[in-house]
Chains A and B, each alone.
Chain A
Amino acid sequence: MNLITHAQLRDWLATMMADRTVIAPTRVIDGLVLYQPVNSPDAIAFDFTRTAISPKEFFLPATEAILTLERIGQMAAGGDGTGLKWNVKLSEPELEREQVLFGCRPCDVHALLALDALLLQDPVDAYYARRRERTTLIGLACEQMGPTCFCTSLGFTPDDQRGMDVMLYPVEGGYVLEALTEKGRMMADGLTMEPYAGERPQKAWPPAEFSVPPRLVWPQLFNDPYWGRLADRCLSCKLCAYVCPTCRCFDVRDYTVAQGPGYQKIERLRCWDSCMAEGYRRIAGGHNPRPTKAQRLRNRFYCKFDYYPADFGPLACVGCGRCIDYCPVNVDITEVLQAVAAKGEALATNATRLSP
């Protein structure tokens, strides 16, 4: 471990910016901090708990062209004079520059680890994988938890270093720097820093106020009227999915961008979608397995705490609390988790009472 001063950090960032896109927290307007590409270390904000929206857009953009298709028509031999034989040329987007995500928080990196469980398993999502590979994660340990943060209920702490390439722990005069991976070591190579011989500066965080109910509880509560009551106030605005670091559903559509005789250029775009949308699960023919808000809102929680971990391992929630901050009708995921846990316990107690 090393000690890096504020001045040394500034220089390091400036060097990085020369040949990479550096994405860092920036204060857009007072009270709003977002991850954005920066051109100068002065643009970086350090006093924030976590950004308003997650940095997942740098790995899974809100909109991205996944393919360009060109349809070229040629007069077919032996055709009737107006007959065209169409040939299609497919091209994939150019790879972007190397990226550095500076100042990422443990919750957002745990979210990437959760997304990896799906997107990096066979068949690998090529676009996510390329961005993930070309990004160096330089983490910044939190000094305090925000009012809606609950990462400690999910089994990690605000200074957890898992998933980071380099971890920075704020101390007097600068940061303790720990390079954790080969990528991280290469990034920190050549930096002038003092060695640090002390303990890794991790704090004793207060114990979690609640824990996530076990997966087994969820199927038992699938038909509980709680979901209907909760959904009464949901607006299906999809803000929760928008700000969430683990939501990853998307829609794919084609758009014609250029057209002429015998020529058509099409972009195949994918963009963020959300299971809160009324037509999210509607299929051809009109059938909709989730026609009510109750079913859709229930799905949000079941996906995060039952289906995703059943299919891929990790929970699809990292306790960042953004959905709590931004839901316009105050649907609070921590209240839901505690209600589910309480109901689960009630069911278990009744079962014990009823068994011979």
Chain B
Amino acid sequence: MINPYVPYLGRLADIQPLGTGIKLFKVQLEDQTVVREFTYRPGQFAFVSAFGVGEAPFGITSVSGIDDTVDFAINKVGT
């Protein structure tokens, strides 16, 4: 049984500023099987963890199967 609460590990490949308080975080997933098999559709979101703080849902910005990284454009709001 796959445990949906176990996150896929990845590394930040790049951070690009997009505007005031907005950044694009490009994540390179570590597990090659996941990189091949993890697909998603426009509008879906992922729970992204900041280890030690927690996890929160963020919409996925990149396009599945086209981009190498999984990207999140994040606005600095909330806690």
Contact = CB atoms under 8 A, between A and B. Distances in A.
A283 B78 contact: yes
Contacts of B51: 69, 71, 88, 254, 264, 266
Interface string A229-257: 00000000000000000000000111010
A126 B2 CA distance: 7
A124 interface: yes
Nearest to A282: B78
The 7 closest A-B pairs by CB, nearest first: A284-B78, A126-B3, A123-B4, A285-B77, A284-B77, A254-B54, A253-B54
Interface string B14-36: 00000000000000000000000
A180 interface: no
A53 interface: no
A111 to B, nearest CB: 22
A252 B75 CA distance: 21
Interface of B: 1-7, 9, 49-56, 75, 77-79
Interface in A268-308: 268, 283-286
A90 B54 contact: no
A202 to B, nearest CB: 36
Given A283-B78, A284-B78, A90 B7 contact: yes
A266 B52 contact: yes
A286 B75 CA distance: 13
A71 B5 CA distance: 18
Given A254-B53, A266-B52, A284-B77, A90 B9 contact: yes
Contacts of B79: 284
A67 B52 contact: no
Interface of A is mostly: strand
A273 B28 CA distance: 33
22 contacts: A66-B5, A67-B5, A69-B51, A88-B9, A90-B6, A92-B3, A123-B2, A124-B2, A126-B2, A129-B1, A254-B54, A264-B51, A264-B52, A266-B51, A268-B55, A284-B56, A284-B77, A284-B79, A285-B77, A285-B78, A286-B77, A286-B78
Interface of B is mostly: loop
Nearest to A126: B3
Contacts of A268: 5, 54-55
A96 to B, nearest CB: 16
Query: Which of A124, A129, A284 gathers most chain B CB within 10 Å?
Result: A284
B7 A126 contact: no
Contacts of B3: 92, 126
A124 B1 contact: yes
